[in-house]
Amino acid sequence: MFGRPKSIRLLREDIVRFMEMREIGARQILVYMGHLHKDLKKKDKADYFSFVDLGNIPTCPIGTDGRDLSQHIADQLEAVCRDNICLIPYNIRYHWILTIVNEDKNMIYLLDSTSNRIRDDTWKTIVTNGVKMYNASKGISKGPGFKILTGNLKQSGSVECGYCVMRYMKEMVDCDDPQLEKMVSFFLG
């Protein structure tokens, strides 16, 4: 799934937290990504979507210049991208967002389950620089476009963001039309 084998261990506490719809972490999202990847393989759509191992991308880049994180993203894209759509869940200041890299269109989308959230340009810069590094390794000089989307699936409280990110990923991989721009219509409501 990430271009290499990976095992994840869920603790009993992780499962209970998920069942009780409490705040979830990276382990639960990684397991869910594994489920989606297996489902994509069954449907023979695994070559169209890829997932970035969020365990290799440290969270909350506050106080750093972001070069190391951008390089992590470039390395992950190198390992998994094959002219497809790459999904990157990311936790920024205790809030999950979904970053979508459409390599074919050289476009980055950021999906957020809150409409009034203060945007953090640090993550945008880190992802954009990571894609630029990846593009440079492929001989592409044009920088990627960037678009922030507010999903029509809104969180009602303070802990649903992880569940919204999982739903966004599910809706994308379940979409029959492999055109990302048409999938995005789901998020715009």
Q: What is the tens place of the pLDDT at every residue in 57-75?
A: 665 554 456 677 888 888 8
Residue 73 resides in a domain: yes
Q: What is the tens place of the pLDDT at every residue in 71-125?
A: 888 887 887 766 678 889 988 778 888 888 888 788 898 888 776 555 667 888 8
Q: What is the mean pLDDT of the chain?
A: 78
Domain range holding 159? Answer: 12-188
Judge contact between 130 and 70, C-beta under 8 A. Answer: yes
Residue 7 resides in a domain: no
Count of structural domains, the chain:
1
Q: What is the tens place of the pLDDT at every residue in 158-185?
A: 778 888 888 888 888 887 765 565 555 5
Judge contact between 61 and 123, C-beta under 8 A. Answer: yes
Residue 189 confidence class, pLDDT cut points 50, 70, 90 = very low
Which CATH number belongs to the domain containing residue 114 in this structure? Answer: 3.40.395.10
CA angle 83, 85, 86 (to 5 degrees): 110
The answer, as to whether pTM is greater than 0.95, is no
Residues ≥6 apart with Cβ < 8 Å to 129: 66, 67, 70
Residue 42 resides in a domain: yes
Residue 2 resides in a domain: no
